[in-house]
Amino acid sequence: MSVRRFMGALAATVLATGLTVAGVTTPASAASSVPRFDHVVLVMFENHANTQITSSSAPYFTSLASQGAKFTQSFAITHPSEPNYLALFSGSTQGLTSDACPRNFSGTNLGAQLIGAGFSFKGYSESMPSNGYTGCTSGEYARKHNSWVDFSNVPAASNLTYASFPSTFTNLPTVAFVTPNLCDDMHDCSVATGDTWLRTHLDPYAQWAKTHNSLLIVTFDEDDSASGNNIYTSFVGAQVKIGSYSERVTHYTVLRTIEASYGLAGINNAASLSPILDAFV
């Protein structure tokens, strides 16, 4: 092969797959739109900075990121926890500055958007005592980490225990939010505990998603208050381009990306944002 033909082939490969130089991946050019996924599952962990999720402390998180798109400049919105959950679900902290409970809102949110457009939404909370539960706490369950129960326009049938999470993934709703309990989300227990929980409970879905037009999003509500709110966020699944992405994204960006997948308008603080495109084929 001539040098010119070789360089042309190399350039085509870089454009299609991205380039890795000295261990840093430069992703290929952006997709024109967010893929329409059959299912999106988002799981939120607690109170750790991106720098605390390492190959030694969280080997599964690290492995998962290497299988998809890792966002190195992903940021939570504020402190403490509850306003961040609301931000990702509704595009707004709803003026909340504490973890107070209960809270009741009637404004627009992702769940109501999806259901109104003919899609489906369900939230699954580990250790919640029963489907449709509206209490503030129960053992290792905390309502402050369950944003969908705060909105009157999200039906009680969308507020489910994690025991209701389908083992047959084709039975999942269009979009599912998953909240581990206060130990498994790293709030009360170690990073290693959360790492084991994620591998045990959601790796089967992560691997399935790659070949079934579906997506897993793993993120954190906030950091440890010592790292500028820089948090771990990764996308793994079908039509995701493996690589490390350095653009700044927030909970609002992630919300806007999910909305865009289903042709929904951006809401509240997500309305002015562009969805993530460069991480998709």
Q: Confidence band (pLDDT; 50, 70, 90) for 218?
A: very high
For residues 184-189, give the mean pLDDT: 98
pLDDT of residue 29: 73
pLDDT at 77 > cutoff 80:
yes
Share of the chain above pLDDT 90, in %: 89
For residues 110-125, give the mean pLDDT: 98
Query: Over the range 248-262, which residues count as b (16 or more CB within 10 Å of their CB) and which as e?
Result: ebbbbbbbbbbbbbb
What type of residue is 246? S
Which residue ranges make up each domain of the chain? 23-270
For residues 4 and 257, the model is more confident at 257
Backbone phi, psi, residue 268, to 5°: 50, -125
The model's pLDDT over 130-167, given as tens digits with 9 standing for 90+, comes to 999 999 999 999 999 999 999 999 999 999 999 999 99
CATH code at 23-270: 3.40.720.10
Mean pLDDT, the chain, integer: 92
For residues 86-107, give the mean pLDDT: 97
pLDDT at 5 > cutoff 90:
no
Least confident range from 24-28, 31-35, 51-55: namely 24-28
Q: Which positions ≥6 away from 200 have C-beta within 8 Å?
A: none
Yes or no: say if 238 and 214 are a contact pair by the CB < 8 Å rule: yes
pLDDT at 209 > cutoff 60:
yes
pLDDT of residue 28: 54
pLDDT of residue 18: 53
pLDDT of residue 134: 98
Gyration radius of the chain over CA positions? 19
pLDDT at 176 > cutoff 70:
yes
